[in-house]
């Protein structure tokens, strides 16, 4: 697919709409203010923003943050992101408290070349997720160029992702530096896969990864499954899972995946032991569970040492590795070993020359928690977008940049 880079755009003195992904984790402090706890997505957008600023563009940034339910929420405003971006850029960033309307019109009318304005959370308006064309036109607000640097939202046909782009001619749209980097990494991964190819999937829900599991079973030599989603697979095998998380309505999906793996000769590894507790609590007494079955009243919250060893053996032999999702409740010390061990094993594989791609979301948080930054070939900023890109096809936000 052909698309332009920001170098291809004439931006001097022009208003440039830049879709960024500032959907970062926040915590509320005792004084009621919000603090960013992990800012890699903001840092990743800086090269594009700085380039446009240095070339004299009037930069208008748009992002979502969280999942606001009923319009504006003070807990989900983008002001903390603007403050962090000011520090990273070393220049003022104007944070607006709206993304459309009179305040925005006035601010953009006065905007100088080389300056940066951050619109308020676009998801404060339900029209954003609906992909509403009229809302997209109001968001555009006279912008003459469109840049998408938000790979993490490229799988969504939202107003700021595809709608604004559609209002401009193809030669006025471009991929930002981050988007370009993400797409190049995925292209390289899918174009030439060195074998053995091993994928590790974790996280809570099978339903989030149904299509990617089916797709990966056509590509990988081994699929390692942990996290909450593993218990749906274990239940589908007829195993006892105690009080562990299970999507009962997805048991047939899990059985189909197990059958497909068997037919294709894919090694599909599930937990063979567990670290469990009776309640979902960081301070709950921990029970080591030998064997695949979880006792009644206990819930599996991490994989056990035998599972870790089996996963490490597969990863040690792999030449291509894809990982998305933690293997347990890694935020709690008692249940961190599975995710930590896999992260370390993949880092070691990178050091010996394996191609390694980590897919966004909580996997990035794992890497940060255990100080493993910079030890992988590519760490994606997009969780859902990364998974959908692995399924094949063109993501809506990428298709919106297509030249022909």
Distance CA 367, CA 347 (A): 10
Domain boundaries, the chain: 6-179, 192-390
Residue of 348, 351, 275 whose CA lies nearest to 315: 348
Task: Please pick, among 163, 203, 383, 384, the residue that the annotation labels catalytic.
Answer: 384
Which residue, 109, 83, 93, is CA-closest to 50?
A: 93
Asked whether the beta carbons of 164 and 156 are under 8 A apart, the reply is no
pTM score of the predicted model: 0.88
Which residue in 202, 361, 383, 397 is the catalytic one?
Answer: 361
Whether 209 is catalytic is no
The CATH fold assigned to 6-179 is Rossmann fold (3.40.50)
Which pLDDT tens digits describe the chain residue by residue (404 residues)?
Answer: 789 999 999 999 999 999 999 999 898 888 888 899 889 899 999 999 999 999 999 999 999 999 998 899 999 999 999 999 999 999 999 999 999 999 999 999 999 999 999 999 999 999 999 999 999 999 999 999 999 999 999 999 999 999 999 999 999 999 999 999 999 998 888 888 899 999 999 988 888 788 889 989 999 999 999 999 999 999 999 999 999 999 999 999 999 999 999 999 999 999 999 999 999 999 999 999 999 999 999 999 999 999 999 999 999 999 999 999 999 999 999 999 999 999 999 999 999 999 999 987 788 889 999 999 999 999 998 888 888 888 777 899 999 999 86
Q: What is the pLDDT of residue 211?
A: 84
Are 343 and 370 a contacting pair, CB within 8 Å? yes
Burial zone of 291 (CB within 10 Å; 0-12 exposed, 13-18 middle, 19+ buried): middle
Domains 6-179 and 192-390 share a fold: yes
Let me know if 384 is a catalytic residue: yes
Q: What angle do CA 59, 60, 66 make, to 5 degrees?
A: 135
176 is catalytic: no
Catalytic residue among 19, 41, 123, 156: 41
Q: What is the pLDDT of residue 191?
A: 82
pLDDT value at residue 127: 97
- What is the model's pLDDT at position 22? 97
| Residue keyed to tokens 């089996």 | 310
DSSP H helices, 204-355, are 210-216, 229-236, 251-264, 305-317, 337-351
174 strand-pairing partners = 147
205 assigned to active site: yes
CATH of domain 192-390: 3.40.50.1260
- Rounded distance between C-alpha atoms, residue 60 and residue 146, angstroms: 10
pLDDT for position 60 = 98
**Which one from 50, 205, 255, 319 is the annotated catalytic residue?**
205
| The token pair that represents 297 in the structure block | 């009243």
């Amino acid at each position: 697919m052909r698309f332009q880079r920001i170098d291809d755009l004439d931006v001097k003195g022009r208003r440039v709409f830049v879709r960024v992904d500032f959907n970062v984790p926040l915590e509320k402090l005792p004084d009621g203010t919000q603090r960013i706890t992990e800012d890699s997505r903001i840092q990743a957008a800086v090269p594009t923003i700085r380039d446009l600023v240095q070339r004299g563009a009037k930069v208008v940034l748009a992002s979502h943050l969280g999942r606001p339910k009923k319009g504006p929420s003070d807990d989900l405003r983008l002001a903390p992101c603007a403050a962090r971006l000011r520090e990273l850029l070393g220049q003022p960033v104007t944070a607006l408290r709206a993304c459309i309307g009179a305040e925005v019109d006035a601010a953009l009318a006065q905007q100088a070349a080389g300056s940066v304005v951050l619109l308020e959370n676009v998801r404060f308006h339900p029209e954003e997720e609906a992909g509403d064309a009229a809302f997209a036109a109001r968001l555009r607000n006279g912008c003459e160029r469109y840049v998408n640097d938000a790979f993490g939202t490229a799988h969504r046909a939202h107003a700021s992702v595809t709608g604004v782009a559609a209002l401009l001619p193809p030669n006025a749209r471009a991929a930002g530096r981050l988007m370009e980097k993400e797409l190049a990494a995925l292209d390289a991964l899918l174009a030439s896969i060195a074998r053995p190819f091993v994928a590790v999937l974790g996280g809570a829900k099978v339903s989030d990864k149904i299509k990617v599991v089916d797709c990966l079973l056509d590509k990988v030599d081994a699929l390692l499954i942990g996290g909450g989603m593993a218990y749906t697979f274990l239940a589908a095998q007829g195993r006892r899972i105690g009080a562990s998380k299970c999507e009962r309505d997805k048991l047939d999906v899990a059985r189909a995946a197990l059958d497909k793996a068997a037919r294709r000769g894919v090694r599909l590894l599930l937990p063979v032991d567990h670290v469990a507790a009776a309640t979902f609590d960081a301070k709950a007494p921990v029970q080591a569970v030998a064997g695949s079955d979880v006792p009644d009243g206990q819930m599996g919250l991490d994989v056990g040492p035998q599972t870790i060893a089996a996963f490490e053996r597969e990863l040690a032999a792999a030449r291509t590795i894809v990982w998305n999702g933690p293997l347990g409740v890694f935020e709690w010390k008692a249940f961190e070993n599975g995710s930590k061990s896999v992260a370390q094993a993949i880092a070691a594989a990178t050091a010996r020359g394996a191609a390694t791609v980590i897919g966004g979301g909580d996997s990035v948080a794992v890497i940060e928690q255990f100080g493993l930054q910079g030890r992988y070939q590519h760490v994606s900023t997009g969780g859902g977008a990364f998974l959908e890109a692995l399924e094949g096809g063109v993501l809506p936000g990428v298709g919106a940049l297509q030249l022909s």
